[in-house]
Structure 1
Amino acid sequence: MTRFSSIIYFLLMFAVLSGCSKQSVSPTSQRAEEASNGNTGNNPNNNIVESKPAIVTPRVASISASIHGFGEALPALYDSTTKNYPLIIFLHGQGDIGNGTTDIYKVGREGIGKMVKNKTFPPNFNVQGKNYSFIVLLPQFDKWADAGDVNAMLDYAVKNYRVDQSRIYIVGFSMGGGITWLTGATEAAKIAAIVPISSASAINDKNAEALVSAKMPIWAFHNTQDTMVSVNYTKNNVAKVEALNPSIKPILTLFESEAHDAWNKACNPGYKQNNMNIYEWMLQYTRN
C-alpha cells in the first residue's frame, strides 16, 4: 500500500465512526481548561434540554499502554454550555481490539458505540424530574486490557472534559464486561454504578468484598445459553456479591438465547425493568 493510499484508508476509517467530522484529533485547550477549572458558570444554555444527537469524533491519544485512541461522543450543545455532564465509559469486546487509529471504527460496531455512531443514542434522559445528557467515551484496547487501562481513561476524561465526577458509569460487554467488574472493584471510589454484560471473566473474593464495601450498584446481563462465553461467569460473579449481603442488591438479568450478544438488548434504551432502562437506572446513583 502506498503512503497516499494509507492516508486515505486512515481517513475513511475515521469517517465511519465520526460521520466525516472535521474536528481536531485531540480535545481543544478551551475544553481542557474548563474541565480543569470546574467552570460551570451561569450560562443560559445550561438549561436547554438536548434534542440533537451527540457529536461523535475519533481521538488519537496515548491514554495507557493499551489505549492509543478512543471515540468521543459529546452532547450537541457541549461547546455552548459550561455545565458538567455524567460520563459513560463503554468497554468493547475482544473482537473489537485494535490500534486506536485505523481500527477505531470497530468501537462503533456494538452496543452504545453503535448507537452513537448511528445517531440513535438518546440525547436526553429524564430521571426524577431532572434532565441529563451523557458524555460517552469509547476507548479501544490493543490487547486484553485491565482495570488500570480503564482508570487511565477515566483520569484522562476528568482532566479533559467537564465531567460530573459524582456520575461516572462503566458499561462493557464480553471482554469489556469482565473489565467492568474489575474496574468497579478496584476504582470504586470514582464510579457510581456498573453494567457488566456477557462477562468473559470472573471476579475473586477480594473483588466482591470491594464492590460490597463500596455499595456499588450493579446490573449484570447475560444470555442463558451463550455458546461463546458461559453464563456461569456472570452468575458466579453476582453470587459472590450476593453472598456478602450487600446493602444494594445486584440485579441479574438473563435473556433466553444461545447468542453472545446480550448487549444488543441490554443497551437498547427501549428495554426496561421496573420502568427504567440501564441509563435511567444508572442516573439514580451518585458517588460522593
Structure 2
Amino acid sequence: MTIKRSTLSVEITKKVQIDYLISFPDGYADQTREWGLIVFLHGMDMRGDNVTQLLNYGLLEAANEGNLSLPFVVAVPQCPSESYWNMERDAVTALIEELSANHRVDGRRIFLIGYSLGGYGVWDLAIHNPKMFAAIVPLSSGGQVSKAEKLKDISIWAFHGAKDDIVPLEQMTDMVSAIEKHQGNVRLTIYPDLGHDIMRETLSNQELYTWLLEQTK
C-alpha cells in the first residue's frame, strides 16, 4: 500500500436564501441621507417559513406599540425550521451586504440585536465578521468565551434577566468578563426581577436606540 499526501483546492459557490421583513424610517425619502441598519435576530419559537409572524414580535412589535424614535433601516430575517442562526451565518451576511448595496445604508453604522437563539446568533455573527458591525446587542444568551478577543473593537450592550432559568446568567457574565479582559467596550444590564423573556423591557427602551445612534466604526 502506498500513501501519499495531497491537497484539494477548489472554489465552491454556495446558494443562500432567507426570508425577511424590512422597515424604512420616516424621512427615508430624503435622497441625500444614509441611515444606520439594524438587523434583528429572533428566538427559537419564531423559526419557520411564515415571515409575517415576525410583524408582531420583538423589535417590530416594540416599534409598532411604543413611541420609539427609530431612525434606522430595520431588517428582520427568519431562521428556517430545524436550523440555527450559526447555520444561517452566510445568509445573514449576504443579506446585510445586499441591503447595504441596494439601500441608503451607512456602512459605518450596521448593528445587530438578537434575543435568546438570536442572541447566540449575534455573538456568533460578530465573532465571524467583527469588521462588519459598529455595535451589537445580545439578549438572554451567551457566546464563545475563547473567541472574545475578536469582539474587542465592537461596542456591545448586553442584557440578561437574573432569574433566567433557560440560559443561566453566568453564560452572559462569563462572556462579558472575557471581553473586558481584552479591553473591549462592553456594558451589561441585568434585570434583577426578570427571567428569560426580557424583550419588551429592553426593546421598548428609547435609551438603547439613542446609544446605537452614538456608535460608529
* Paired position in structure 1 for 2:204: 268
* Paired position in structure 1 for 2:181: 243
* Paired position in structure 2 for 1:106: 53
Worse overlay, 215-224 or 225-234? 225-234
Where do 4+ consecutive residues of structure 1 move more than 6 Å? none
2: distance between equivalents of 1:176 and 1:269? 19
* Paired position in structure 2 for 1:13: none
Which of 13, 16, 39 is 1:64 aligned to?
A: 16
Q: Any idea what SS the aligned residue of 1:78 has?
A: coil
Q: Which amino acid aligns with 1:78?
A: Y
Q: Deviations over 1:204-227 (max 9, x none)?
A: 312x11111xx1111100001112
* Paired position in structure 2 for 1:36: none
Q: Is the 8 A contact 1:75 1:123 kept in 2?
A: no
Structure 1 residue 189: deviation in Å? 1.0
* Paired position in structure 2 for 1:185: 127
Q: Deviations over 1:28-56 (max 9, x none)?
A: xxxxxxxxxxxxxxxxxxxxxxxxxxxxx
1: distance between equivalents of 2:55 and 2:107? 25
The question of 1:97 aligning with 2:44 is answered no
* Paired position in structure 2 for 1:209: 149
Q: Any idea what SS the aligned residue of 1:218 has?
A: strand
Q: Any idea what SS the aligned residue of 2:131 has?
A: helix
1:19-98 aligned at under 5 Å gives the runs: 64-65=16-17, 67=18, 69-98=19-48
Q: Which amino acid aligns with 1:141?
A: C
Q: Is the 8 A contact 1:167 1:286 kept in 2?
A: yes
Q: Which amino acid aligns with 2:144?
A: I
* Paired position in structure 1 for 2:191: 255
Aligned length: 199
* Paired position in structure 2 for 1:280: 210
* Paired position in structure 2 for 1:228: 166
Q: Is the 8 A contact 1:90 1:113 kept in 2?
A: no
Q: Is the 8 A contact 1:112 1:121 kept in 2?
A: no
Q: Is the 8 A contact 2:68 2:204 kept in 1?
A: no
What's the TM-score once normalised by structure 2's chain length?
A: 0.84
Q: Is the 8 A contact 1:226 1:257 kept in 2?
A: no
Q: Is the 8 A contact 1:110 1:264 kept in 2?
A: no
The question of 1:151 aligning with 2:117 is answered no
Q: Is the 8 A contact 2:62 2:200 kept in 1?
A: no
2: distance between equivalents of 1:156 and 1:194? 19
Q: Structure 1's 150 and 216: CA in aligned 2 closer, same or farther, altered over 3 A? A: same
Q: Deviations over 1:46-103 (max 9, x none)?
A: xxxxxxxxxxxxxxxxx934x2x1111102332353421111001100111111xxx1
1: distance between equivalents of 2:124 and 2:66? 29
Q: Any idea what SS the aligned residue of 2:29 has?
A: helix
Structure 2, unpaired ranges of 5+: 1-14
2: distance between equivalents of 1:268 and 1:88? 15
CA-based RMSD of the aligned residues comes to 1.9
Q: Is the 8 A contact 2:62 2:203 kept in 1?
A: no
Structure 1, unpaired ranges of 5+: 1-62, 125-132, 271-276
Q: Any idea what SS the aligned residue of 1:261 has?
A: coil
2: distance between equivalents of 1:120 and 1:268? 7
Structure 1 residue 176: deviation in Å? 0.6
1: distance between equivalents of 2:118 and 2:179? 19
